[in-house]
């Protein structure tokens, strides 16, 4: 079956209540077009995991699509906080399991290796651990190291149903290049049941085969390939385009307030039929060209 | 030469870093301090960012770790597992450099929430790599504003452990390292070797001991003699103002 599909079809493969892991970090390489389409299709009751909470997760939470968030904290860098995530935690409408960046990464790593659990030095002595023990006792435990007899904190593997990853380029099978730092994306994809890849460009397999050392995601783990230029807007994709400060500021102003965020969604999610209309709405070709990355700087 | 409290904080932070060290850094003043150290006394220091960046040489100020401006000219672009795992968790990070919302007298750091975690609270940022760095680095340095609501008898939430309840509590939690100092805009604090209580190390020129203590949420240990913090050099100020943070995004 061909893997290259439209965004709508890829998103429709996600069931209500699924656990999805998202590729964003703060305001970089966020699966924004994907999040907008999840909201348009009305997919709900999701569990979302992410090493550091980002704009894609925050938007899904703000739209009421998420029941449970497993993350290592997060922000929109200097633009602001994850206001929707924070508001949902404060009002108790979101079950948030808060870790550190490395502890979520280690949980993905354990998942990617098929290990039963993974020891970690982080979290001990913190209230993060105290809260995790209260909330989800089964995901953290201690064991004795059989070699040294030292007691270790151990974490359960984290195995999302679907990884959703925004990449620079891939081929039709989903063999994907991620340029720049990959944060948790490698372990996330390999821990997950399958991956949806959203690429700025789908390139010929021959091009991938010429430089296979750039591949981070093997196509054999990928169920859907979606070619979607500017799919991470208003966040950045390294070597492709910069973040759109004005649109992020607009998002931040709407965040955390039910009415203001609803108006934001009405304008940018429900008010447009698809990604193409969204790109027109945010300024079309001229605006997008102004965000294009300088090839030397990467932004 | 005139300087601002933030500039002195950045310079004081730089002085905590040594040549050849591996330093894990967050955004803001820690980044300014690290870049300053690297351009002065510590050219062979490696600065690492949790998302997978080693030793970048930014030419534009970024809005945070997610900004490709702070990845520019890195020697390695990799992942959390690479930086926080194979360097930090493996024990190869000499200094962790962190900011926070609140710190208590034992150096426990809060970046998660303000208020009562089981009642009314405002959720803020959470850990990111801060807990990992505070748990695994050989030592940590904090930079914070000097205000009673930031320097607290106890914090609302321990995101990143310092000396936990003091004495041997950190060791008993299975953790080595720990905070070595807290740099504020009025003073620099260390920690008493046994009690692990915060202790004044120096106060910044222009401040009095009374003012430093009155603007904190707890009374720190006060040694017999308290020196003034060394002022920044003209060259350090020039580097901060002209090269590292010309837009004064972090050094207000």
Whether residues A42 and A120 share a domain: the answer is no
Q: Measure CB to CB from residue B125 to each of A75, A125, A236 and give the nearest one.
A: A75
Whether residues A193 and A267 share a domain: the answer is yes
* Residue B250 belongs to a domain: no
* Residue A61 belongs to a domain: yes
Whether residues A171 and A237 share a domain: the answer is yes
Q: Is A128 on the interface with B (CB under 8 A)?
A: yes
* Residue A1 belongs to a domain: no
A120 CA to centre of own chain? 23
Distance from CA of A172 to the nearest CA of B (A): 25
* B85 contact residues in A (CB cutoff 8 A): 102, 105-106, 109
Q: Specify burial of residue A204 (Cβ count, 10 A radius: 0-12, 13-18, 19+).
A: exposed
Taking an 8 Å cut-off on Cβ atoms, the answer to whether A101 and B50 are in contact is yes
- What is the number of other CB atoms lying within 10 angstroms of the CB of residue B114? 17
CATH code, domain carrying B176:
3.40.1080.10
* Residue B133 belongs to a domain: yes
Look at residues A90, A125, A155 and tell me which one is the last residue of a structural domain: A155
Hey, what are B54's tokens? 């080693």
* Residue B11 belongs to a domain: yes
Whether residues A17 and A31 share a domain: the answer is yes
Domain count, chain B: 1
- What is the number of other CB atoms lying within 10 angstroms of the CB of residue A115? 13
Whether residues A91 and A23 share a domain: the answer is yes
Is residue B80 within 8 A of residue A51, CB to CB? The reply is: yes
| DSSP H/E element including A85 | helix A83-91
Is residue A28 within 8 A of residue B68, CB to CB? The reply is: yes
User: Phi, psi (5° rounding) for residue A288?
Assistant: -65, -40
Distance from CA of A1 to the nearest CA of B (A): 32
CA nearest to A55 within chain B:
B66
Is the pLDDT at A137 greater than 80? The verdict is: no
Whether residues A84 and A134 share a domain: the answer is no
Q: Using one digit for the tens of pLDDT, what is the confidence trace for A98-135?
A: 999 999 999 999 999 999 999 999 999 999 999 999 87
- pLDDT string in tens for chain B (252-residue length): 899 999 999 999 999 999 999 999 987 899 899 999 999 999 999 999 999 999 999 999 889 999 999 999 999 999 999 999 999 999 999 999 999 899 999 999 999 999 999 899 999 999 999 999 999 999 999 999 999 999 999 999 999 999 999 999 999 999 999 999 999 999 999 999 999 999 999 999 999 999 999 999 999 999 999 999 999 999 999 999 999 998 888 887
Q: Domain range for residue B218?
A: 5-244
Taking an 8 Å cut-off on Cβ atoms, the answer to whether B89 and A102 are in contact is yes
Whether residues A122 and A88 share a domain: the answer is no
- What is the number of other CB atoms lying within 10 angstroms of the CB of residue B69? 19
**Among the options B2, B50, B171, B230, which is catalytic?**
B50
| B108 contact partners, CB below 8 Å, separation of at least 6 | B155, B158, B160, B161, B162, B163, B164
> What secondary structure letter does DSSP report for B154?
S
* B135 contact residues in A (CB cutoff 8 A): 121-126
Q: Is A177 on the interface with B (CB under 8 A)?
A: no
| A146 contact partners, CB below 8 Å, separation of at least 6 | none
* Residue B52 belongs to a domain: yes
Domain count, chain A: 2
* Predicted ipTM beyond 0.85: yes
Q: Using one digit for the tens of pLDDT, what is the confidence trace for A2-56?
A: 999 999 999 999 999 999 999 999 999 999 999 999 999 999 999 999 999 999 9
Known active-site residue B50 = yes
Q: Domain range for residue A192?
A: 7-98+159-291
* B59 contact residues in A (CB cutoff 8 A): 297
């Amino acid at each position: 079956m061909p893997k290259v599909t439209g965004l709508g079809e890829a998103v429709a493969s996600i069931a209500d209540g699924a656990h999805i892991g998202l590729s964003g970090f703060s305001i970089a390489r966020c699966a924004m077009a994907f999040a907008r389409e999840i909201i348009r299709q009305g997919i709900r009751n999701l569990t979302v995991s992410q090493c550091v909470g980002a704009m894609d997760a925050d938007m899904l939470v703000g739209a009421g699509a998420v029941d449970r968030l497993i993350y290592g904290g997060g922000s929109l860098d200097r633009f602001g906080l994850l206001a929707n995530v924070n508001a949902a935690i404060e009002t108790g409408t979101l079950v948030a399991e808060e870790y550190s960046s490395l502890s979520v990464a280690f949980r993905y790593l354990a998942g990617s290796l098929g290990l039963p659990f993974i020891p970690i030095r982080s979290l001990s002595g913190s209230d993060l651990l105290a809260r995790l023990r209260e909330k989800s006792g089964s995901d953290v435990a201690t064991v004795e190291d059989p070699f040294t007899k030292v007691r270790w904190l151990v974490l359960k593997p984290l195995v999302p149903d679907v990884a959703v990853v925004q990449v620079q380029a891939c081929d039709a099978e989903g063999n994907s290049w991620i340029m720049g730092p990959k944060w948790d994306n490698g372990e996330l994809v390999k821990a997950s049941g399958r991956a949806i890849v959203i690429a700025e460009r789908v390139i010929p397999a021959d091009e991938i085969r010429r430089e296979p050392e750039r591949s981070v995601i093997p196509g054999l783990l990928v169920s859907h390939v979606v070619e979607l230029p500017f799919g991470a807007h208003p966040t950045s994709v390294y070597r492709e385009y910069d973040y759109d400060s004005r649109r992020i500021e607009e998002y931040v102003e709407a965040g955390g307030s039910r009415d203001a965020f609803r108006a934001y969604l009405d304008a940018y999610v429900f008010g447009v039929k698809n990604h193409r209309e969204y790109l027109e709405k945010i300024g079309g070709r001229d605006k997008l060209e102004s965000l294009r990355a300088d090839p030397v700087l990467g932004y | 030469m005139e300087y601002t409290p933030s500039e002195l904080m950045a310079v004081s932070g730089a002085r905590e870093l040594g040549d050849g060290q591996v330093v894990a850094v967050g955004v803001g003043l820690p980044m300014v301090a690290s870049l300053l150290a690297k351009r002065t006394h510590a050219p062979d220091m490696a600065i690492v960012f949790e998302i997978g960046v080693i030793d970048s040489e930014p030419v534009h100020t970024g809005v945070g770790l997610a900004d490709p401006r702070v990845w520019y000219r890195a020697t390695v672009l990799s992942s959390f597992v690479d930086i926080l795992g194979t360097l930090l968790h493996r024990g190869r990070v000499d200094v962790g450099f962190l900011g926070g919302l609140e710190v208590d007298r034992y150096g426990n750091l809060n970046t998660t929430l303000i208020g009562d975690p089981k009642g009314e609270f405002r959720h803020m940022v959470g850990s990111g790599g801060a807990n990992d760095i505070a748990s695994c680095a050989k030592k940590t340095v904090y930079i914070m504003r000097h205000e009673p609501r930031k320097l607290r008898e106890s914090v609302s939430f321990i995101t990143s452990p310092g000396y936990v309840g003091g004495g041997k509590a950190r060791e008993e939690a299975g953790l080595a390292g720990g905070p070595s100092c807290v740099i504020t805009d009025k003073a620099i604090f260390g920690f008493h070797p046994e009690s692990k209580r915060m202790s004044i190390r120096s106060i910044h020129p222009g401040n009095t001991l009374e003012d430093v203590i009155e603007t904190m949420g707890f009374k720190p240990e006060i040694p017999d003699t308290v020196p003034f913090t060394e002022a920044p050099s003209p060259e350090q100020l020039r580097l901060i103002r002209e090269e590292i943070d010309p837009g004064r995004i972090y050094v207000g």
